[in-house]
Amino acid sequence: MLRDDIATSDGLTFYDLETPCLLLDRSKVQSNIARLRAHLAPFDVVLRPHLKTAKSIDVARLAMTSPSGPAMVSTLKEADYFARNGVTDLIYGVGISPAKFETVAAIERTHGAKVAILIDCLAQAHALAEWSQQANHSLDVFIEIDCDGHRSGVAPDNRVMLEAIGQMVSRSACNLRGVLTHAGESYSLHDADTLAGAAERERCAVVLAANTLRAIGLQSPHVSIGSTPTAHFTRNLDGVTEVRAGVFMFGDLFQAGVGVLQPQDIAVSVLATVIGHRQSPDRIIVDAGWMAMSRDRSTQNQAIDQAYGLVCDLDGAILHDVLLLETNQEHGSIGIRQGSHRTLPDLAIGQRVRILPNHACATCAQHDSYQVCDAGQAIIATWPRISGW
Ligand SMILES: Cc1ncc(COP(=O)(O)O)c(C=O)c1O
């Protein structure tokens, strides 16, 4: 059966699907979302899901507090897609080049949405001020703060730079919404106290920046923090108005290595079929290579290296120490973790397995839809996802 033939999922099970394909366990997505919501419930903050992992309106609707958002996106293609589907409160979460101002404005005009942008330097602020006057269009702006030297943003104690950017935006036609940071260094941590420490540094950095702007009379109503690890381990959100996280909805082996969730909570897996066997070394060959899994090997620097993925049976039960050890473009070789005394399962040609990915964002990006299941092996829906920029 061709993938396009799956107009309705009625009566389909895993053996009716073409492999490799992407499975999404809806009940696990829902419980991952519920777990983060429960952790944040005692704090007076809004959860702004980052939709860069899911890139699907069906998944977004499970994670957002309302059909109109709020949400964050990582590409303007996502912004356009989600705005077209009724999400009107968006932040584009990547620093912007002036060439993209007009695209943002076009999305706002076409769909009646707000797509706030991030800036972190005077050149951007200057270009924005000039453009907004010429275009007669006001964009909402966050100043990005660098809380941990990860990649971008103004240093939180760089008062001169913050004031200069803040003043330039507020003298323009644009609207300064506040400050925003992303604790990207938290991904390299793995115990609760150090993660709580990273979350506290993230909070302090962005609150300091907001107070710097307020001290010179500028508005900073929104104070936004976020990464999946810090969102899960934060113990104090004083002064913060919203928390952003994205990969938490699905989880992956890397996030399990950080300690955010257990491997059995991971909602996304690749369905693969056995296509061969090899002796010495003992391997089961499946039709999921790096094109289906991605080349991501991010667990190799963690305490437990999961190779290209951890293999599960069709009910999602983990086959301990059974890993996708090697990949070619379309071949994957399943073997036993080095040093383990377990043996390979008896899997005949044509039998199927599920493989949990290292990095959900990268693996999902290899596929154009989710085959959605709940606890069992029945496909309950096919949800399209977008890609590209
Ligand atoms: C600006 C920004 N906010 C939030 C996030 C959410 O991060 P995570 O993938 O840890 O959920 C990211 C991730 O890249 C990001 O770049």
Compute, in angstroms, the gap from residue 63 CA to the centroid of ligand 1: 15
Atom of ligand 1 nearest to the CA of 187: 10
Ligand 1 centre to CA of 149 (Å) is: 15
- Rounded Cα–Cα distance for residues 51 and 48 (Å): 9
pLDDT tens digits, 228-287? 999 999 999 999 999 999 999 999 999 999 999 999 999 999 999 999 999 989 999 999
Ligand 1 — pocket residues by CB below 6 A?
50, 72, 93, 182, 226-228, 244-248
Atom of ligand 1 at shortest distance to CA of 245?
A: 11
Tell me which of 47, 52, 248 to substitute to probe ligand 1's pocket, judged by most ligand atoms within 8 Å of the beta carbon: 52
Instruction: Please report the atom of ligand 1 found closest to the CA of residue 74.
Output: 16
Question: Cα(347) to centroid of ligand 1, in Å?
Answer: 38
Ligand 1 centre distance from Cα of residue 74 (Å): 9
Nearest CA to ligand 1 atom 5: 227
Interval between CA 226 and ligand 1 midpoint (Å): 6
- Probe target for ligand 1 pocket from 48, 50, 55, 206, with the most ligand atoms within 8 Å of CB: 50
Pocket mutation for ligand 1, best pick of 48, 227, 228 (most atoms within 8 Å of C-beta) = 227
Structure confidence at residue 3 (pLDDT): 37
pLDDT value of position 9: 65
Distance 353 CA to ligand 1 centre (A): 30
Q: What percent of the chain has pLDDT over 90?
A: 95
Select from 90, 240, 244, 260 the residue to mutate for testing ligand 1; criterion: most ligand atoms less than 8 Å from CB: 244
Give distance in angstroms: CA of 54 to centre of ligand 1. Answer: 12
pLDDT of residue 150: 83
**Residue 248 CA: which ligand 1 atom is closest?**
11
| Full pLDDT tens readout for the chain, 389 residues | 333 334 456 689 999 999 999 999 999 999 999 999 999 999 999 999 999 999 999 999 999 999 999 999 999 999 999 999 999 999 999 999 999 999 999 999 999 999 999 999 999 999 999 999 999 999 999 999 999 988 999 999 999 999 999 999 999 999 999 999 999 999 999 999 999 999 999 999 999 999 999 999 998 999 999 999 999 999 999 999 999 999 999 999 999 999 999 999 999 999 999 999 999 899 999 999 999 999 999 999 999 999 999 999 999 999 999 999 999 999 999 999 999 999 999 999 999 999 999 999 999 999 999 999 998 899 999 999 999 99
Gap from CA of 71 to ligand 1 centroid (Å): 12
| Whole-number pLDDT of residue 1 | 33
Residue 125 CA to ligand 1 centre (angstroms): 23
Nearest CA to ligand 1 atom 1: 93
* Cα 329 to ligand 1 centroid, rounded to whole Å: 28
The ligand 1 atom nearest the CA atom of 229: 10
